[in-house]
């Protein structure tokens, strides 16, 4: 048993998850830190998933009648448990997902933040009163609990994405069945243990929040079950294109958070010190494995050379190594295929005429890299044009640099890709900023000015357009996805007039 395996087991025990491992388990939990095995777990059978959904549906039928402000007590309790265990849960995120310590802790803080948001929301699930054209009538809208919400999450945000869905779904009156990525099973079990404890403390049904473990077969059961009216799936565009038709075939709802190929425009007026800091974090944070990671920089030709030189210098200062070391800024990629995709994209970009500015190699021999882990040197490639490899999302710290002359050219380059998640412009010109944010500007669900593409706050709705899927999670009115709307008309008169002046005597 490795030191990381021992530590992971200690954390699970501390969080109330017990010992979930089985020697003959078919699911292998590993750590990208050094590639070591953390333990083996047993996958759920389709029959077990079916039973889990049935239990969640029964819990929903009880929970939906609990007043929303009382439902908020459960999420408040979950938030308190997350505060209490932030350090160790953040450490487990680093062990299992490979995030640096600061980002692991930040992800748990994001969970705490969404719980705070949802508790307030539990007293603000407002409907509308609508003027009726008929005398003595009133119309109104109400929002009611939807049912069981299926959550399918990816490895790169192994706990935060679940919390975005679960916190809103629970205050909305729903139950949640979560299928985590096969690459991050232990963090899911840890969160489930905390959710179960929160349910116990407030007397909520234990089956409100459940986890099912397994591969594609387990996910398909969740996707196909008519007792799951909403499937919230986070992952690749390829995955989303498989999930959406299956849910649509039974007329269910989908909330999709898929790929991103995010760009930042750097205008001549930009504060380059600010731009460099924003670009570097967005491009190499989480080793480039965020859906909002910066993939493309579109820089004005007059400042191209200076910006590339500054970025290259900044990249030269990045510390690569174990994410558990406080000084590390760039941890490992999640697995060998991720490394191969990174190296292949760098090679293809150069074949397309790109100039490798820095990085683009394995980092196995560098100080700080841990044997067995997939460590790479973040790359910058100066491209003559937006070729196919640039338009394709590579989930790694690979940044392409493109050049423009006029703002409309930059926006065209920006919008040319199939994905539409996050975007940014660095400029001190209000006209450029407003143009970028306008309907004729960025076509993404997130558009920023003078900050990078990653690091969204929970107060705003998160999601994107085009092949990003169109879903919205987290803040603003994203809660409406987890509820159903009814329009009510109340006649308090003694007459029965029909709408639109119809006569039926």
Give the model's pLDDT for residue 380.
98
Residues pairing with 138 in the sheet: 490
Token duo for residue 188: 């899911």
Q: What ranges do the domains of the chain cover?
A: 47-258+469-486, 262-457
Structure-token match 């299992």, residue found: 96
What percentage of the chain carries pLDDT values higher than 90? 97
Give the model's pLDDT for residue 367.
66
Residue of 168, 273, 210, 213 lying closest to 43 (CA atoms): 213
Which whole number is the average pLDDT over 7-13?
A: 97
Give the model's pLDDT for residue 365.
65
Distance CA 243, CA 238 (A): 9
Q: Is the pLDDT of residue 16 over 90?
A: yes
Distance CA 43, CA 118 (A): 31
Q: Is the pLDDT of residue 305 over 90?
A: yes
User: 3-class secondary structure for 25-84?
Assistant: CCEEEECCCCCCEEEEECCCCHHHHHHHHHHHHHHHHHHCCCCHHHHHHHHHHHHHHHHH
Residue of 94, 119, 239 lying closest to 179 (CA atoms): 239
Q: What angle do CA 163, 164, 166 make, to 5 degrees?
A: 55
Token duo for residue 387: 């070729």
Which whole number is the average pLDDT over 168-191?
A: 98
Which whole number is the average pLDDT over 336-356?
A: 98
139 three-state secondary structure: strand
Q: What is the pLDDT of residues 478-497, one digit of tens each?
A: 999 999 999 999 999 999 99
User: 3-class secondary structure for 383-446?
Assistant: CCCCCHHHHCCCCCCEEEEEEECCHHHHHHHHHCCCEECEEEEECCCHHHHHHHHCCCCCCCCE
Residues pairing with 130 in the sheet: 139
Residue of 274, 223, 272 lying closest to 252 (CA atoms): 223
Q: What is the pLDDT of residues 306-341, one digit of tens each?
A: 999 999 999 999 999 999 999 999 999 999 999 999
Give the model's pLDDT for residue 308.
98
213 three-state secondary structure: coil
DSSP states of 238-295 as a string? Answer: HHHHHHHHHHHHTT-EEEEE----EEEEE-TT--HHHHHHHHHHHHHGGGG-STT-EE
Are 207 and 56 within 8 A, CB to CB?
yes
Which DSSP letter does residue 141 get?
E
Token duo for residue 152: 């399918």
Which whole number is the average pLDDT over 77-89?
A: 98
Q: Which of 257, 393, 432, 473 is catalytic?
A: 257
Token duo for residue 281: 């974090």
Q: Which residues of 351-387 are buried (b: 16+ CB within 10 A; e: fewer)?
A: ebebeebbbbeebeeeebbbebbbbbbbbbbbbeebb
Which whole number is the average pLDDT over 52-81?
A: 98
pTM over 0.75: yes
Q: What is the chain's mean pLDDT, rounded?
A: 97
Structure-token match 């992952």, residue found: 235
Give the model's pLDDT for residue 364.
78
98 three-state secondary structure: coil
Write the CATH number of the domain with boundaries 47-258+469-486.
3.40.605.10
Residue of 342, 324, 364, 234 lying closest to 284 (CA atoms): 342
Give the model's pLDDT for residue 369.
77
Residues whose CB falls within 8 Å of the CB of residue 496, separated by 6 or more in sequence, listed in order? none
Concerning whether 465 is annotated as a catalytic residue, the answer is no
Q: What is the pLDDT of residues 377-432, one digit of tens each?
A: 999 999 999 999 999 999 999 999 999 999 999 999 999 999 999 999 999 999 99
CB-CB neighbours of 222 under 10 Å: 26
Which whole number is the average pLDDT over 140-152?
A: 98
Distance CA 330, CA 155 (A): 17
Give the model's pLDDT for residue 1.
60
Which whole number is the average pLDDT over 94-111?
A: 98
Are 82 and 113 within 8 A, CB to CB?
no
Q: Is the dihedral of CA 332, 324, 364, 35 positive or negative?
A: negative
Which whole number is the average pLDDT over 122-133?
A: 96
CB-CB neighbours of 451 under 10 Å: 18
Give the CA distances from residue 448 to residues 115, 169, 211, 374, 452, in Å, rounded to whole numbers and listed in that order.
Answer: 25, 28, 35, 32, 7
358 three-state secondary structure: strand
Structure-token match 């998850």, residue found: 17
Distance CA 163, CA 496 (A): 48
Token duo for residue 400: 């392409």
Distance CA 187, CA 345 (A): 30
Which DSSP letter does residue 167 get?
H
Q: Is the pLDDT of residue 368 over 90?
A: no
DSSP states of 453-497 as a string? Answer: SS---TTSEE--EETT-S--EESTTGGGGGEEEEEEEEE-SS--P
**The architecture CATH gives domain 262-457:** 3-Layer(aba) Sandwich (3.40)
Give the model's pLDDT for residue 370.
86
Reported as a pLDDT band with limits 50, 70 and 90, residue 287 is very high
């Amino acid at each position: 048993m490795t030191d990381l395996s021992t530590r992971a087991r200690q954390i699970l025990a501390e969080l109330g998850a017990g010992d979930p491992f089985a020697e003959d388990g078919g699911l292998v939990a590993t750590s990208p830190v050094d590639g070591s095995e953390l333990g083996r777990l047993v996958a759920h059978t389709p029959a077990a998933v079916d039973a889990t959904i049935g239990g969640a549906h029964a819990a929903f039928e009880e929970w939906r009648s609990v007043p929303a402000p009382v439902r908020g007590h459960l999420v408040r309790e979950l938030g308190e448990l997350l505060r209490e265990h932030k350090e160790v849960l953040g450490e487990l995120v680093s062990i299992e997902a490979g995030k640096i310590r600061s980002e692991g802790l930040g992800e748990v803080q994001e969970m705490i933040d969404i719980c705070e948001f949802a508790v307030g929301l539990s007293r603000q699930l407002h409907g509308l009163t609508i003027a009726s054209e008929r005398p003595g009538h009133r119309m109104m809208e109400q929002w009611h609990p939807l049912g069981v919400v299926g959550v399918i999450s990816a490895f790169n945000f192994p706990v935060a994405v679940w919390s975005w869905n679960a916190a809103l779904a629970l205050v909305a009156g729903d139950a949640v069945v979560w299928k985590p990525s096969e690459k991050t099973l232990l963090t899911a079990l840890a969160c489930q243990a905390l959710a179960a404890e929160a349910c116990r403390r407030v007397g909520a049904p234990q089956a409100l929040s459940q986890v099912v473990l397994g591969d594609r077969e387990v996910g398909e059961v969740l996707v196909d079950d008519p007792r799951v009216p909403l499937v919230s799936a986070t992952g690749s565009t390829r995955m989303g294109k498989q999930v959406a038709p299956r849910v649509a075939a039974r007329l269910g709802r989908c909330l999709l958070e898929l790929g991103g190929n995010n760009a930042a425009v750097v205008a001549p007026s930009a504060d380059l010190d600010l731009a460099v800091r924003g670009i570097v974090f967005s491009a190499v944070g989480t080793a480039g494995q965020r859906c909002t990671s910066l993939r493309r920089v579109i820089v004005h030709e007059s400042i191209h050379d200076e910006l590339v030189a500054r970025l290259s210098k900044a990249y030269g200062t990045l510390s690569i190594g174990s994410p558990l070391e406080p000084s590390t800024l760039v941890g490992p990629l999640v697995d060998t295929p991720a490394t191969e995709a990174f190296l292949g994209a760098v090679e293809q970009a150069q074949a397309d005429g790109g100039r490798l500015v820095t990085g683009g190699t394995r980092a196995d021999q560098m100080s700080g890299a841990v044997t067995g882990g997939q460590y790479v040197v973040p790359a910058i490639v100066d491209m003559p044009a937006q070729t196919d490899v640039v338009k394709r999302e590579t989930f790694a710290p690979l940044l392409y640099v493109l050049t423009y002359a006029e703002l409309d050219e930059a926006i065209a380059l920006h919008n040319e890709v199939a994905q539409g998640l996050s975007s940014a412009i660095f400029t001190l010109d209000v006209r450029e900023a407003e143009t970028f944010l306008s309907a004729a500007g960025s076509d993404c669900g997130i558009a920023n000015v003078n900050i990078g593409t990653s690091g969204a706050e929970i107060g705003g709705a998160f999601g994107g357009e085009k092949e990003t899927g169109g879903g919205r999670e987290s803040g603003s009115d994203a809660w409406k996805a987890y509820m159903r709307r009814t329009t009510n008309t109340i006649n308090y008169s003694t007459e029965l007039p029909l709408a639109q002046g119809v006569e039926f005597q």
